[in-house]
Amino acid sequence: EVGVVRQFGRFVAQTGPGLNYRLPWPIQVHDIVNVAAVRRAEIGYREVEERGQEPVRRRIQEESLMLTGDRNIVDIQILVLYQVKDAVTFLFRAENPEEALRVNTEVALRSVIGNMDIDHAMTVGRPEVEAETWKILQMLLDTHQTGLHVAGIELQVVDPPDEVRESFYDVVRAKADRERLIREAEGYARDVVPRARGEAAAIVHAATAYRDERIALAEGEAERFLKILEEYRKAEAVTRQRLYLETIERVL
């Protein structure tokens, strides 16, 4: 905590923990501000505690319903964690710094959601929503001199409105099924195509081997015929007789 001392209403000193002294009222007065505590601001909902029961979350539609970049309505609930970074600015610069934080959070969040599709905001875009809202909100708080520092932003709920929620989820599930079927088809293709290519390569290799074998046999037969022809020309009568005898031998 820090103490902020005023003299006749004007700020004159800021003190830290320990023993401190100020002049008595009406000359001087002081305000004590906790600068270490992490405070909470709930936007789009409120947690109501009842004695002996768990806190109940109640939605505030005026804050939670927003228009996305693709002209859909989305229900968003967000939690802002913040601290006082400058006690003097917090006390004297803005009339109601914490209310300004709530309003500026809603402004920042609507600005971010208004430039984003609902599908992106509900799925992979949640970290982006938090980061961009944090950036814009801190800039607004500094501009309005609230003396506040945003310690963290946590999206609680990002849903379509109740009236179309089930239909919207049906669409989301259909898209998920489509992506799953596409992945299964791609996996099947990755399995079938290499196997088919392997079988085609095996057939080509077998055909090539058969072709080479037939060519080699044909060349051998041709070479043998040419040698016989050469011998035949050297001694036609003897060769003719030998061929005749070999033929008769095979017939018999």
Over the chain, what is the mean pLDDT? 85
Q: Is 74 exposed, middle or buried (0-12, 13-18, 19+ CB in 10 A)?
A: buried
Largest CA distance in the chain: 152
- CATH number 3.30.479.30 given to 35-161: yes
Q: What are phi and psi of 85, to 5 degrees?
A: -100, -20
pLDDT band at 82 (very low <50, low <70, confident <90, very high): very high
- Name the residue ranges covered by the structural domains of the chain: 1-33, 35-161, 193-251
Quick one: what percent of the chain has pLDDT higher than 70? 96
pLDDT at 107: 92
pLDDT at 106: 92
Residues 66 and 154 sit within 8 Å (Cβ to Cβ): no
pLDDT band at 167 (very low <50, low <70, confident <90, very high): low
pLDDT tens digits, 117-137: 887 888 788 889 899 999 999
Residue 41 pLDDT greater than 80, yes or no: yes
pLDDT tens digits, 169-199: 776 677 778 888 898 888 888 888 888 888 8
